[in-house]
Amino acid sequence: MFEKMRVKTKVIDSGKSGLDTQTLEVNVGPQHPSTHGVFRMTIVLDGEVVKSLRPVMGYLHRNHEQIAENITYSASMPYTDRLDYFNSMSNNQAWAMTVEQLAEVEIPDRAEYIRVIMSELTRLVNHVSVIGFLLNDMGAFFTPTLFAFREREKVLDVFEAVSGSRMMCNYLRFGGVNRDLTDDQLGQIKKIVADFPAFLDEFETLLAQNEIVCMRCQNVGVLPAELAINASITGPMLRASGVNYDIRKVDQYSVYDRFEFKIPLGEKGDVYDRYYVRMLEMRESLKILNQALEQIEPGPFMAPKVPACLKNPRNFKPPVGEAYGRVEAPKGELGFYVVSDGSKEPWRYHVRAPSFINLTVLEAMCIGYKLADAIVILGSIDIVLGEVDR
Amino acid sequence: MPQLEFLIKCGVYGLMGLGIIAAVGAVLLPNLFHAGLALAFVLVTIAGIFMSVGAEFLGMVQILLYVGGVMTLIIYTIMLTGRLGAKDVRAQNRQGIFAAIAAGFFVCWIGPLILKTGAWPQRESDSAPPLLSVEDLGMSLMTEYVFPFEVLGVLLFAVLIGAIVIARQDRPS
Amino acid sequence: MDQMFVNIKAALVGLSDKVFPDWVGVLVSIAVSIVAIALLGPLIMMYLTLIERKVVARMQNRIGPNRVGKYGLLQPLADGVKMLIKEDIVPRNADKVLHLLAPILIVAPALLVFAVLPFGRNMTAVDLNVGILFFAAISSIGTIGIFMAAWGSNNKFSVLGGMRSVAQMISYEIPMVMSVVPVLLAVGSLSTNAIVEAQADWHWFVFTPWGFLGCVIFFLCGVAECNRSPFDLAEAESEIIAGFHTEYSGMKFALFYMAEFMSAFTISGMTTTLFLGGWQGPLLPSWLWFFLKTYGLIFIMLWFRATLPRLRVDQLMALAWKFLLPLSLVNIVATCIWHFLSDEAFFTPAAFLVPLALLVFSYWGLMKLNQPYMPEKRVYPLVD
Amino acid sequence: MFFGLGILRGMNITLMNFIRSYTRKRGSGEIGALTTVQYPEERLPEKEKFRNFPFLIYDDKPEDLRCVACDICAQDCPPRCIYIVKETDEAGKPMKKPAVFDIDFTVCMNCGICEEVCPFDAIFMDHEFEIADSDRHDKLLYHRDDLLKTNEHFHKIRPNDGREVDTRLAEAKEAKAKKDEARKKAAEAKAAAKAKAEAEKATEAKEDKPPETEKESDPQ
């Protein structure tokens, strides 16, 4: 299967033709319309074919981990919003889970349900925008992006009503959530979930079967399952390569064991699979949302036995130890590793950022393809520079 | 209308002058890319002269084939071969003497022909149809000059096959 | 009404004849045409930008420009002013002369083509008897302008864009000209006026099978010629920033856009002339018919832009060489068949069906031969 | 499959959106309806919990602001954008009032933590977002007097929260009154009784001291 593809796009060996040819080195980024931020790729081109590609990161480095080691645990929460600024809710969830694991806090059911609802809504927002951007990178002049943003806006409205901010939610707290969901807001979410399938159908008809999209995406940027596993790729990218690995199923964290949902798997691991697996994942997320909205019951939204961390965030001192909390963020496995020495600030704080790790296979996927493919492959990885550079 | 005739003459002589300047530029400009562009401009002015004497078809074909096709390819080649970093690839010419001799022979051959024609092409009247219609051209290509035409066709065919062979060489078997 | 503009011109010429000697009248007649075209080109371009923004916005659930003037009607003027007062930046190592000349050399051919467009009955500025050839020749000059822009900017992205664009324009010129040949065969003249006259009484060529195919091929190639989506590789903003005009700003940049929009108009106008009956049409004045049809085609261009992603370089070439070119060659054969079977009548069943069968067969055959470029069907298992 | 069918289907979607942009009502939320909000003239309804930049609240007079300059918010602020200096009286003794209360809006990241940790309900997140300025240094460094806003303003932007906070404060006031009364009683008792009663009073006062809120008490 892969051999066939390789033949089609073999790098033309310039030495063989006996002509004195020259490779061209171009810097794609850090200021480039489709590197999704200040990411830079140094690409060596032979004609239009990528011969080597070197990702250069760090233009958006903000010292996140060092800052977190110098502020209290709860003050890190708004900083995690800014990692992957498309998915602040799932970032919050991962950080909250890590500290709860460290401090052994039990979370009430309602809070867990709210967290699941929020992170699945986040997944919808992320996947729908990523697909929009991917198609935009392919040259569809903003129509998919704006359709995606039209729906994203509705979800962001809910986030704003619930947490106070559209993107930088800072909504979760250790032991629960900041505020309860009102019935109004639940109704709003129900309406979004009910309307979303119609939008997804439209979105899919718009370009998923489009011949140009198929030509651009199919058999481009193939990531073999073996390489994906070896490079510890996670998230939709891994599943597009046909590996069944979803932390929601593996860890069964939060209340995910109470829902009926499936994991869509890709066939070849090319750009098209990554695109379509995200499409299917959104449909599965909608299933989860429907069940969660049915099952959610009134109750406390904060841990009833309030630990010190909630009463007085400045004086919250978790016991000495270490914890690693992870969630299935829309981009992959988002993990926080934290070591506590019993003081107010974490002694060591590390983020396992899915975008960053998924980006490591970029060169392997791009070599032998055209410059235009490299852009699309980058788009299909789904990176957010806030998370890559931290 | 002699005044109009005068204006047209001015225009045509101006065109010719520009053409000569551009031709000199095409030979002398140090930068190959500029020289190529100057050559393209020469061809455009020649097309303009063709049109001014009523050979519109020829003028258009001149632009379509020579400017749009041949010159584009030549400039494309220059652009690809010239190192992108170093733009001042000098148009090195070590055969100036031979070129001058060849040009001299050419002038000797074609000069009498030029002198034989009048200062201005004579047309019977302004409203007369062009000397050579497209139909005439087609007819003569298909009757009188059918052999050269076919030979050219075979040549182009060979070129096409050659291009395909060269393009295929790098492909894996 | 139909001859409104023709009469205005005649009146102006008549006016000058009364005052000046007769040779001035000829000059005035020429000048009126030139001024009309020179004004029409930029005017069309300015309002095409507005139309494009409006149409694309509506397709994307937006309103589009609506702040400057009623319905944003003054937006093009505001844009023009903005472009004029913007700083003109020339890269330090650019070839200054070429950098300056390139936008002019791109606009000039785009404007020249207006000369042979039949805007209405008796409304062709210059009725050349080689009109179609003129169109093909002049539009091929534009490549050199793109070259100059690409090379003169001294930017790698520009060079990439320039190479792409030239390869694309040379490739698409061939099927484009080939798809015009059927019309020339049917009409027997290269003059645009003669072509329109031949399509009187609803004998639009688009209603014949070869005409329909020719129309589609010509229009697609035209879209590629003026670098518009989905063939806008030369200025693919997501890949090579803006291609050959990456390094341009201010009014020079606007000139590139002017060229693009004017060629979009001329391509649509030429498609109208060649296949859609030009200014022929009932009731309405001829020039209105021409503009209606042309803007209909422009709407399709904008529609493409709002929907389709762009092709990749190799796919673009493959489409031109492996699909459109053979198809347009078959189309010529189909036209010959139509010509001999139709027996001077526009429509006979045999003359309609035989070329149709030939074309459908060759379309199908080419599709089969180009199998590698056909989309695959995928199955996505859902697992636990 | 027929090549081009997918393209045609996609183009149908955009065309339907084009037509529906004229037939469907703007902002109705249906597919194809226009979504634009003409911003300066039209505004989306403000969400009550929406937070942007903080402001300081006062009840009657700007001098009587609720803030006691306890410095909790400044210490808990993740980007440390709050700077507080206590006011001192003539004798140089610090008063429960900020002399300097600066918030650097260029640093503030609108997280709302200051509002959450404030035990005196003195700082709240505002809805005001049109504060753009061409000067990024001085104009966006807000001083105490720029930050002051009335309780009415708070009620206007966040009616539910305003009510809640007011009842909470009223209860606290009542509790304080009770405490004062208790203190008075205790004083009377003190006058009457001996050292034993004094110890009792101390515990009582300690119990009553925190206001009846879920928030933490004044560390002072």
Give tens-digit pLDDT for C186-206.
887 788 888 888 887 777 888
Q: Decide if A22 and B170 are in contact by the 8 Å CB cutoff.
A: no
Nearest-Cα residue of chain C relative to residue A135 = C309
Percent of chain B with pLDDT over 70: 77
Subunits with 3+ Cβ pairs within 8 Å of C are A, B, D
The Cα D161–Cα C158 span in angstroms is 58
Are residues D136 and D85 part of one domain?
yes
- Tokens representing residue A342 in the block: 């019993």
Answer whether 0.80 is exceeded by the pTM.
Answer: yes
Q: Which among B56, B72, B130 is the nearest to C143, CB-wise?
A: B72
A189 Cβ contact partners less than 8 Å away, ≥ 6 residues apart: A117, A121, A158, A181, A289, A293
pLDDT at B122: 56
DSSP C209-278: HHHHHHHHHHHHHHHHHTT-TTS-GGG-HHHHTTGGGTT--HHHHHHHHHHHHHHHHHHHHHHHHHHS-T
Are residues D60 and D38 part of one domain?
no
CA atoms within 13 A on the CB side of C90: 13
Please count the structural domains in chain D.
2
pLDDT at D144: 81
- Specify the 3-state DSSP secondary structure of D41: coil
Please give the residue that has the higher pLDDT: either C21 or A233: A233
Q: Which residues of C touch B87 (CB under 8 A)?
A: 95, 154
The Cα A125–Cα A54 span in angstroms is 30
Are residues D125 and D63 part of one domain?
yes
Q: Decide if B170 and A24 are in contact by the 8 Å CB cutoff.
A: no
pLDDT at A218: 83
- The answer to whether B28 and B37 are in contact (CB under 8 A) is no
The band of D17, judged by pLDDT with boundaries at 50, 70 and 90, is confident
The band of D10, judged by pLDDT with boundaries at 50, 70 and 90, is confident
The Cα A73–Cα A91 span in angstroms is 14
pLDDT at D191: 77
The Cα C60–Cα D32 span in angstroms is 8
CB within 8 Å of chain A, chain C residues 295-314? 305-314
| Residue A30: cis peptide before it, omega within 30 degrees of 0 | yes
C236-254 per-position pLDDT tens digit: 777 777 778 888 888 888 8
pLDDT at A4: 37
* Alpha-carbon dihedral sign for residues B102, B104, B108, B113: positive
Q: Which residues of A touch B172 (CB under 8 A)?
A: 7, 10
The Cα C140–Cα C172 span in angstroms is 10
pLDDT at B123: 54
| Residue C230: cis peptide before it, omega within 30 degrees of 0 | yes
Q: Identify residue C277 by its one-letter amino acid code.
A: G
Boundaries of domain holding D155: 54-171
The Cα A61–Cα A388 span in angstroms is 8
pLDDT at D213: 46
Mean pLDDT calculated for residue range A220-242: 88
- The dihedral over CA atoms of C380, D1, D5, D6, expressed in degrees to the nearest 10, equals 20
pLDDT value at A99 more than 70: yes
The Cα C48–Cα A322 span in angstroms is 63
Q: Decide if C303 and D33 are in contact by the 8 Å CB cutoff.
A: no
- Tokens representing residue C141 in the block: 């000059």
Exposed/middle/buried for residue C40 (C-beta within 10 Å: 0-12, 13-18, 19+): middle
Q: Decide if A249 and C384 are in contact by the 8 Å CB cutoff.
A: yes
pLDDT value at A11 more than 70: no
Q: Identify residue D91 by its one-letter amino acid code.
A: A
pLDDT at D216: 44
pLDDT value at D201 more than 70: no
Are residues D131 and D107 part of one domain?
yes
A267 Cβ contact partners less than 8 Å away, ≥ 6 residues apart: A242, A273, C378, C379, C380
Percent of chain D with pLDDT over 70: 86
A264 C-beta neighbours (distance < 10 Å), count: 23
- State the ipTM, two decimals: 0.79
pLDDT value at D89 more than 70: yes
The ranges of chain C with pLDDT < 70 are 1-2, 344-346, 371-374
D69 part of a folded domain:
yes
Paired residues of D101 in beta bridges: D84
A373 Cβ contact partners less than 8 Å away, ≥ 6 residues apart: A50, A216, A220, A221, A366, C312
The Cα A335–Cα A326 span in angstroms is 4
The Cα A186–Cα A289 span in angstroms is 11
The Cα A113–Cα A288 span in angstroms is 11
D177 part of a folded domain:
no
Are residues D148 and D69 part of one domain?
yes
pLDDT at B120: 60
Subunits with 3+ Cβ pairs within 8 Å of A are B, C, D
- The answer to whether A193 and A282 are in contact (CB under 8 A) is no
pLDDT at C111: 86
Subunits with 3+ Cβ pairs within 8 Å of B are A, C
Q: Which among B83, B84, B170 is the nearest to A12, CB-wise?
A: B170
Candidates A173, A169, A163; CA nearest to A105 is A173
The Cα A215–Cα C309 span in angstroms is 11
pLDDT at C148: 84
The domain locations on chain C are 74-373
- Tokens representing residue C68 in the block: 């400057």
Percent of chain A with pLDDT over 70: 92
CA atoms within 13 A on the CB side of C352: 9
pLDDT at B59: 83
pLDDT at B156: 87
pLDDT value at A5 more than 50: no
Q: Decide if D13 and A202 are in contact by the 8 Å CB cutoff.
A: yes
Instruction: Tell me how close the Cα of A35 comes to any Cα of chain C, in angstroms.
Output: 9
Q: Which residues of B touch C134 (CB under 8 A)?
A: 56, 60
- Tokens representing residue D176 in the block: 């304080």
D73: domain CATH number is 3.30.70.3270
Q: Which residues of B touch C190 (CB under 8 A)?
A: 57, 134
Nearest-Cα residue of chain C relative to residue B37 = C144
The band of A386, judged by pLDDT with boundaries at 50, 70 and 90, is confident
The band of A20, judged by pLDDT with boundaries at 50, 70 and 90, is low
Instruction: Tell me how close the Cα of C279 comes to any Cα of chain A, in angstroms.
Output: 32
Question: Which of A12, A24, A45, A48 to mutate against chain B (most B CBs within 10 Å)?
Answer: A12
Q: Which among A26, A140, A264 is the nearest to C156, CB-wise?
A: A26
Please give the residue that has the higher pLDDT: either C238 or B131: C238
Q: Which among D10, D50, D51 is the nearest to A205, CB-wise?
A: D10
pLDDT value at D22 more than 80: yes
The Cα D152–Cα A56 span in angstroms is 52
Q: Decide if A313 and D76 are in contact by the 8 Å CB cutoff.
A: yes
Q: Which residues of C touch A214 (CB under 8 A)?
A: 375-376
D217 part of a folded domain:
no
Per the listing, tokens 């003794």 go with D93
Nearest-Cα residue of chain A relative to residue B85 = A24
The Cα A317–Cα A94 span in angstroms is 19
Please give the residue that has the higher pLDDT: either C269 or A175: C269
- Tokens representing residue A43 in the block: 């690409």
pLDDT at D207: 55
- The answer to whether A384 and A85 are in contact (CB under 8 A) is yes
pLDDT value at B53 more than 80: no
Q: Decide if A7 and B172 are in contact by the 8 Å CB cutoff.
A: yes
The band of A10, judged by pLDDT with boundaries at 50, 70 and 90, is very low
Q: Do chains C and D touch (3 or more CB pairs under 8 A)?
A: yes
Q: H or E stretch including B153?
A: helix B146-169
Candidates C244, C239, C105, C242; CA nearest to A369 is C239
- The answer to whether D65 and D97 are in contact (CB under 8 A) is yes
The Cα C117–Cα C274 span in angstroms is 10
- Cα radius of gyration rounded to whole Å, chain C: 22
Percent of chain A with pLDDT over 90: 2
Mean pLDDT calculated for residue range A288-305: 82
Asked if A12 reaches chain B (Cβ–Cβ under 8 Å), the answer is: yes
pLDDT at A310: 57
Asked if B169 reaches chain A (Cβ–Cβ under 8 Å), the answer is: yes
The band of D217, judged by pLDDT with boundaries at 50, 70 and 90, is very low
Asked if D170 reaches chain C (Cβ–Cβ under 8 Å), the answer is: no
- Specify the 3-state DSSP secondary structure of A340: strand
Looking only at the bridges linking them, the beta strands covering D94-104 and D141-142 are: antiparallel
The band of D206, judged by pLDDT with boundaries at 50, 70 and 90, is low
D79 part of a folded domain:
yes
Please give the residue that has the higher pLDDT: either D5 or C295: C295
Are residues D88 and D33 part of one domain?
no
Buried/exposed A326-347: b ≥16 CB within 10 Å, e otherwise: bbbbbbbbbbbbbbbeeebbbe
pLDDT value at A360 more than 50: yes
Q: Decide if B170 and A16 are in contact by the 8 Å CB cutoff.
A: yes
Instruction: Tell me how close the Cα of D37 comes to any Cα of chain C, in angstroms.
Output: 9
- Tokens representing residue D49 in the block: 């919990």
pLDDT at B132: 58
Are residues D158 and D113 part of one domain?
yes
D218 part of a folded domain:
no
D179 part of a folded domain:
no
Percent of chain C with pLDDT over 70: 97
A139 Cβ contact partners less than 8 Å away, ≥ 6 residues apart: C229, C230, C232, C236, C238, C308, C309, C310
pLDDT value at A3 more than 50: no
Are residues D72 and D143 part of one domain?
yes
- The answer to whether A282 and A123 are in contact (CB under 8 A) is yes
